[in-house]
Amino acid sequence: MNYVERDATRSLAEALPHSRGRVTDIAARGEPYTWALGGALALGIVMIVGFLALVLYNGATTFIPKPITVVTLADGAVVAGEPFRSESYRPGPAVLEKLAPEVRARIAANDGYAGRTLYRIGNYDIYNEDFRWVSDFEVARMGHPTDLIYAERLEWGPFIGRLKSVHVGGAVREAASMPETELARLHGEARARWQRLRGIERSEIGAVNHQIERERLAVRKAEIAHGAGSAEARQRAAEAAIRIAELQREYDRLAAEARRLREQDRAVRVTLAAIGGEEKELALSALVRFYPANAISLTGKAGIYLSRWWEFLSDEPREANTEGGVMPAIFGTFAMTLLLVIAVTPFGVITALYLREYARQGRLVSVIRISVNNLAGVPSIVYGVFGLGFFAYVLGGSIDQLFYPERLPNPTFGTGGLLWASLTLALLTVPVVIVATEEALAAVPRSMREGSLACGASKWQTIRNIVLPRAMPGIMTGIILAMARGAGEVAPLMLVGVVKLAPELPVDGFFPFVHLERSFMHLGFHIFDVGFQSRNSEAGKPMVFVTTVLLVGLIFLMNISAIAIRNRLKRKFAGSQF
Amino acid sequence: MAAIAEMQSSAPATEYHAKHGDQGPVIEVRDFNLWYGAAQALHDITMTIERGLVTALIGPSGCGKSTLLRCLNRMNDLVDGLTIRGTMLLEGQDIYDARTDVIALRKRMGMVFQKPNPFPMSIYENVIYPLRVDGIRDRRILDETVERALRGAALWEEAKDRLNESALGLSGGQQQRLCIARAIAGDPEVLLMDEPCSALDPIATLKIEELIDKLSGQYTIIIVTHNMQQAARVSDNTAFMYLGRLIEYGETEQVFTTPRLQRTLDYVTGRFG
Ligand SMILES: Nc1ncnc2c1ncn2[C@@H]1O[C@H](COP(=O)(O)OP(=O)(O)OP(=O)(O)O)[C@@H](O)[C@H]1O
Ligand SMILES: [Mg+2]
């Protein structure tokens, strides 16, 4: 005993001078940790920046007009197209066998590799393919003739070739003899006429159809309410018949107008010739835009670039989504995210308020809290299944039974739609908001609450006047995170309302103007659809990048505005002195 | 009653020689015991607070001064696992009775905390907060209250031109005076102050002491302080607490010059604590 004690004191005394050595251990200085942390940070930044740069670069360059190369092959065939990408590959023995010996020797000297280039040749209606590989050894001659045009069409994708002649009425004129400005004027007129035609067919006739449908449903409703054949139903039917006759006249008038326009449209036509001489005649209005790809000036290029972006942002998709615009998808994504925020905020904040401020902090609350946190780890597709089963079929089905019996068996709310998609995502993201709100509430200094209570405020008054405003920046952070997560989510949406092509926007001019039951388009799903579900994924690839840029940009914009709001709130609490 | 008598006999006796005000007691504490969980923080506190006088609570750190003060307006209700036994009366009404309206009770007692805790709102909104929670909207009443309370807290001259600026832009001492203004804006009967000057410089401290002097008579003030000079300067009665017990409760002058117990003398002369 004694010995041990003495020994202990002695060793301590001896150890002391040594323990404060002059040279600090490298681990104690923490430098390896700093390096490791810095390295990890750098790696993370490089990955994020690299990803963003890749997406941005590809997205930004997609719409730049590219020159057209005409390649004459050794066997005499001619290929015209935009060079898309190049790579080296190893030609198979069957290919090699047919080659001239010196070419074969060159390939052999190159370890059996040869170069090849993918050309976007367009003219799908003629060639049955959009792209074609051309091996370097096949090429006899290459040129960039200035009379080639690149034309984007409403159907069949781009056309690459020559503009041969223009037909106006009965007259046929050689395109070469036609001043450029006149052609442009004709094209502008044709496009305007086509837009007008589409306007009549889509919105005006659509509106008439909508009203006729509404009359029909009103009759159905009266029949369901009063019984078929009852006096009320008959009266309603008679009223509807008058209205429908009126609407029918309106419809006929519009249809006649549309017919007239279509005839005019058909009278202005162009003949295009592919590089191999195959001719194609089509209405001038079917060309969205065309330009001489090899003779276009820099300002012309910029104009094409901007007009493509404008079309992309403001127009509807065509050609199975690989061309045209994504406006409905932008709108759908935005509307869904907005609804998601509107739904998730009260849910999350109220739950967190109860858990943090009112519930007795016991085992039950801990269990609930852990469960909520675990909810964030459930695969999102499971939420989609739940949303479809519960929201769409159970809730929506009941709503249909109660409020829209006249439309059955066609579902109104009883199928996927904007509302159900937003609620599903709200469910998916509510843990984020709950956790962030709880943190924010817990971070409100106790002294604030006590100060308020000591003034004679009730608990609710304290929460409303002091705690919530003070916690608002933290709550906003949660909402921002939820928003970012929700806007980028795709898998559950495929089950609860996102479609490849939505016929109507969820907001339009018909009462009640906002149609939450409608299915909608979404940028995330659009990426999936264009990139992996389309006829030609090679053609869709640039669109994938552009759409990704747009989605990232949209989320970025929404986040920026939310952050701006949060910072304004934060500034209110800054500058406190203690 | 027998149980109480028994408990009193088991506890060391408190020396009482407190001055009596001319309006009688406003608060009576009888055999008050308090436990945080299993740890007892207050033992058999019995004392009366005289109306219109300033009572100082002194004692070494952790002796239960804040606990006692926070019991008076039931601020300790927020603490989990709290047990109390004993009686506290505000004008004869039991503070801890189940039927007592805690909110109404707190409206009768303003409280100033150790650290200034202005709300993140304008100076004006801070001062009228007690009226806001009462639902008073009359601009005239609010304006009057702001001026009266800020004058009362000796902040009017400094703040009158920036009433709509954030209260967080004030200096620490100004913030504390703002908190005092807020506490007196609701016109309470009792003002509870827990070390109101501990975060302040000597000049701000002096201002607040002058303020307490001015407010005494009008309000009943209970002030917790570690500053012996301050206690001596501002208070009429002083209660010395030690390890959760009330040791001596008497007229301030006597407590500081000729205390009846050695322990009090040791503490006030700085020999321990
Ligand atoms: N919320 C609490 N939970 C548990 N114990 C507490 C709590 N508040 C105070 N105590 C304990 O009660 C005792 C009295 O604390 P109190 O704050 O009343 O002391 P005090 O006299 O105000 O001290 P100081 O002068 O340092 O402010 C201390 O031992 C403290 O640790
Ligand atoms: Mg204290």
Three-state SS at B260: coil
Whether B25 shows a pLDDT value over 70: the answer reads: yes
Give the span between the Cα atoms of B211 and B222, in whole angstroms. Answer: 14
> CB-hemisphere CA count at 13 Å for B194?
25
Of residues A575 and A517, the one with the higher pLDDT is A517
Give distance in angstroms: CA of B245 to centre of ligand 2. 15
**pLDDT tens-place string over residues A527-547:** 888 888 776 767 778 888 888
**pLDDT tens-place string over residues A234-267:** 888 888 888 888 889 988 998 898 899 888 888 8
Whether A186 shows a pLDDT value over 50: the answer reads: yes
Strand segments (E) across chain B: 15-17, 25-36, 39-50, 54-58, 82-90, 93-94, 109-112, 190-194, 220-224, 237-242, 245-251
Whether A331 shows a pLDDT value over 70: the answer reads: yes
Q: Which residue has the tokens 């709200």?
A: A426
CA distance A562 to chain B (A): 21
Instruction: pLDDT band for B2, please (50, 70, 90 cuts).
Output: very low
- DSSP string across A99-125: S-HHHHHHHHHTTT-EEEEEEE---HH
CA distance A461 to chain B (A): 7
| Length of chain B as a residue count | 273
* Maximum CA extent, chain A: 124
Rounded percentage of chain A residues whose pLDDT exceeds 90: 20
pLDDT of residue A576: 42
**pLDDT tens-place string over residues B177-199:** 899 999 989 889 899 999 988 87
Inter-chain contacts counted by CB atoms under 8 A, chains A and B: 86
Q: Is A234 exposed, middle or buried (0-12, 13-18, 19+ CB in 10 A)?
A: middle
pLDDT of residue B224: 95
pLDDT of residue A14: 57
Contacts of B130 in chain A (CB under 8 A): 455-457
Q: Which residue has the tokens 């905390």?
A: B113
Whether B8 shows a pLDDT value over 60: the answer reads: no
Interface with chain B: mutation pick from A448, A455, A472, highest number of B CBs within 10 Å? A455
Contacts of B104 in chain A (CB under 8 A): 456
Contacts of A361 in chain B (CB under 8 A): 80
Question: What integer is the mean pLDDT of B217-238?
Answer: 91
Contacts of A466 in chain B (CB under 8 A): 119
Angle at alpha carbon of residue B167, lines to B161 and B172, rounded to 5° = 105
Give the ligand whose atoms come closest to the C-alpha of residue B62. 1
Contacts of A461 in chain B (CB under 8 A): 133
Three-state SS at B2: helix
Angle at alpha carbon of residue B162, lines to B160 and B164, rounded to 5° = 115
Retrieve residue B96's tokens.
Answer: 């801890």
Number of continuous H segments (helices) and E segments (strands) in chain A: 21, 13
**pLDDT tens-place string over residues A35-66:** 899 999 999 999 999 999 999 998 888 889 99
Instruction: pLDDT band for B145, please (50, 70, 90 cuts).
Output: very high
> CB-hemisphere CA count at 13 Å for A519?
18
Contact check, Cβ <8 Å, B168/A458:
no
Taking Cα atoms as reference points, which of B134, B60, B119 lies closest to residue A444? B119
Residue B23: phi and psi, rounded to 5, are -110, 10
Whether B5 shows a pLDDT value over 80: the answer reads: no
Residue A165 has what DSSP assignment? E
pLDDT of residue B183: 92
Rounded percentage of chain A residues whose pLDDT exceeds 70: 93
Give the ligand whose atoms come closest to the C-alpha of residue B65. 1
Instruction: pLDDT band for A7, please (50, 70, 90 cuts).
Output: low
Average pLDDT of chain A is: 84
Give the ligand whose atoms come closest to the C-alpha of residue B57. 1
Angle at alpha carbon of residue A483, lines to A481 and A489, rounded to 5° = 105
Question: What integer is the mean pLDDT of A6-16?
Answer: 52
- The answer to whether the Cα torsion of A348, A350, A352, A355 is positive or negative is negative
Average pLDDT of chain B is: 87
Whether B12 shows a pLDDT value over 70: the answer reads: no
Residue B166 has what DSSP assignment? B
Strands B82-90 and B93-94: antiparallel
Q: Which residues are A131's β-sheet partners?
A: A120
Contact check, Cβ <8 Å, B166/A572:
yes
**pLDDT tens-place string over residues B90-134:** 988 999 998 889 999 999 999 999 889 999 889 999 999 999 999
Give the span between the Cα atoms of A571 and A421, in whole angstroms. Answer: 35
CB-nearest partner of B106 from A448, A454, A577:
A454
Contact check, Cβ <8 Å, B107/A449:
no
CB-nearest partner of B113 from A447, A461, A577:
A447
Whether A549 shows a pLDDT value over 80: the answer reads: yes
Rounded percentage of chain B residues whose pLDDT exceeds 90: 52
Residue A365 has what DSSP assignment? H
Taking Cα atoms as reference points, which of A553, A359, A355, A341 lies closest to residue A428? A341
| Start-to-end C-alpha separation, chain A | 54
Whether B79 shows a pLDDT value over 90: the answer reads: no
pLDDT of residue B3: 43
Rounded percentage of chain B residues whose pLDDT exceeds 70: 95
Q: Is B27 exposed, middle or buried (0-12, 13-18, 19+ CB in 10 A)?
A: buried
Contact check, Cβ <8 Å, B78/A453:
yes
Give the span between the Cα atoms of B112 and B193, in whole angstroms. Answer: 5
Give the span between the Cα atoms of B251 and B264, in whole angstroms. Answer: 13
pLDDT of residue A104: 85
Give distance in angstroms: CA of B62 to centre of ligand 1. 5
Taking Cα atoms as reference points, which of A1, A335, A278 lies closest to residue A126? A278
Strands A78-89 and A268-274: unpaired
What residues have their beta carbon closer than 5 A to ion ligand 2?
B 66
Question: What integer is the mean pLDDT of B138-161?
Answer: 90
Contact check, Cβ <8 Å, A361/B80:
yes
Chain A residue closest in CA terms to B133:
A457
Of residues A3 and A333, the one with the higher pLDDT is A333
Give the span between the Cα atoms of A268 and A189, in whole angstroms. Answer: 10
Give distance in angstroms: CA of B29 to centre of ligand 2. 19
Of residues B30 and A175, the one with the higher pLDDT is B30
ipTM here? 0.89
Q: Are B120 and A467 in contact (CB under 8 A)?
A: no
Binding pocket residue ranges, ligand 1, CB within 6 Å: B 36, 41, 59, 61-67, 79
Q: Which residue has the tokens 């959760």?
A: B244
Instruction: pLDDT band for A95, please (50, 70, 90 cuts).
Output: confident
Give distance in angstroms: CA of B192 to centre of ligand 1. 17
Give the span between the Cα atoms of A164 and A277, in whole angstroms. Answer: 10
Question: What integer is the mean pLDDT of B205-220?
Answer: 86
pLDDT of residue B238: 93
User: Which residue lies with its CA nearest to atom 9 of ligand 1?
Assistant: B67
* Beta-carbon count within 10 A of A130 CB: 21
Identify the top-confidence range among A399-413, A457-471, A548-562. Answer: A457-471
> Which ligand 1 atom is the nearest neighbour of the CA of B79?
1
**pLDDT tens-place string over residues A301-329:** 999 999 999 988 888 887 777 778 888 88
Contact check, Cβ <8 Å, B168/A575:
yes
Whether B222 shows a pLDDT value over 90: the answer reads: yes
Instruction: pLDDT band for A17, please (50, 70, 90 cuts).
Output: low
- Give Cα separations from B20 to B26, B50, B54, B176, B251 (angstroms): 11, 6, 11, 30, 9
CB-nearest partner of A454 from B75, B115, B132:
B75
CB-nearest partner of B172 from A449, A453, A578:
A578
Give the span between the Cα atoms of B268 and B229, in whole angstroms. Answer: 9
Three-state SS at A494: helix
The B-side interface with A (CB below 8 A) comprises 73, 75, 78, 80, 103-104, 106-107, 109-111, 113, 115-120, 129-130, 132-134, 166, 168-172, 175, 179, 182-183, 186, 199
Chain A residue closest in CA terms to B119:
A448
Q: Which residue has the tokens 């194609």?
A: A280
Residue B124: phi and psi, rounded to 5, are -60, -50
Q: For A434-448, A503-517, A549-563, which range has the lowest pLDDT when averaged over its residues?
A: A503-517
CA distance B234 to chain A (A): 23
Instruction: pLDDT band for A19, please (50, 70, 90 cuts).
Output: low
Retrieve residue A370's tokens.
Answer: 């852990």
Helix B172-185 vs helix A446-454: angle between axes, to the nearest 10 degrees? 30
Contact check, Cβ <8 Å, B120/A573:
yes
Give the span between the Cα atoms of B42 and B35, in whole angstroms. Answer: 7
* Beta-carbon count within 10 A of A511 CB: 9
- Give Cα separations from B81 to A71, A361, B35, B39, B70 (angstroms): 87, 11, 8, 10, 15
Give the span between the Cα atoms of A217 and A428, in whole angstroms. Answer: 36
Contact check, Cβ <8 Å, A453/B168:
no
Three-state SS at A180: helix
